Amino acid sequence: MTCKLLFLTAAATISLAAEDATKKISANIWFPFDVNGVAMAAGKYEVVRTGHAPILTIRDVASRKSVMIVTAGSGASPIGTTLLTFHRHGDLYVLASVTDGRAGTVLGVAQSRKVKEIALTSRPEIITAPAELIYVARR
């Protein structure tokens, strides 16, 4: 009886810890890019989604500059595939989606008016940046 109770307590604790964790995606982006009208420099980035909210924070690790965006689910992806997808229009790179490898979801990123106008006249090249999914326990 004590063994079963201990096992159930441990399982509940692990489950609560996983629910209370923040997902962080880490990626090295080798080109400057645009996130919904905000210019971001090339460098190491963290993308954080807390809980189940459709809000992402994209943060440059070196400069600590960040931008928050509201996302929309735009599809499913294979479990284990974590990456950032960009659309390239000439010299302009635009963050188009974030793929969460653990949840198997692709989160679309809203585009600025300027990018929408460019997209009407040109077909973008698709660029993907591999990323790593990290779990950080909340304090």
Kindly state the average pLDDT of the residues 70-74: 78
Its pTM stands at 0.76
Q: Is the pLDDT of residue 116 over 80?
A: yes
Kindly state the average pLDDT of the residues 41-67: 90
Q: What value does the CA radius of gyration of the chain take, rounded to a whole number of Å?
A: 18
| Cα→Cα distances 14→6, 61, 98, Å | 12, 29, 27
Neighbours of 131 (CB within 10 A): 23
| Cα→Cα distances 13→29, 57, 82, Å | 36, 28, 27
pLDDT digit string, tens, across residues 6-43 = 333 233 333 333 444 567 899 999 999 999 889 999 99
Q: Is the pLDDT of residue 57 over 70?
A: yes
Q: Is the pLDDT of residue 84 over 80?
A: yes
| Unique residue bearing structure tokens 């950080």 | 136
Sign of CA dihedral 117, 70, 48, 65: positive
Query: 118 exposed, middle or buried (CB, 10 Å; 0-12, 13-18, 19+)?
Result: middle
pLDDT digit string, tens, across residues 122-135 = 889 999 998 887 77
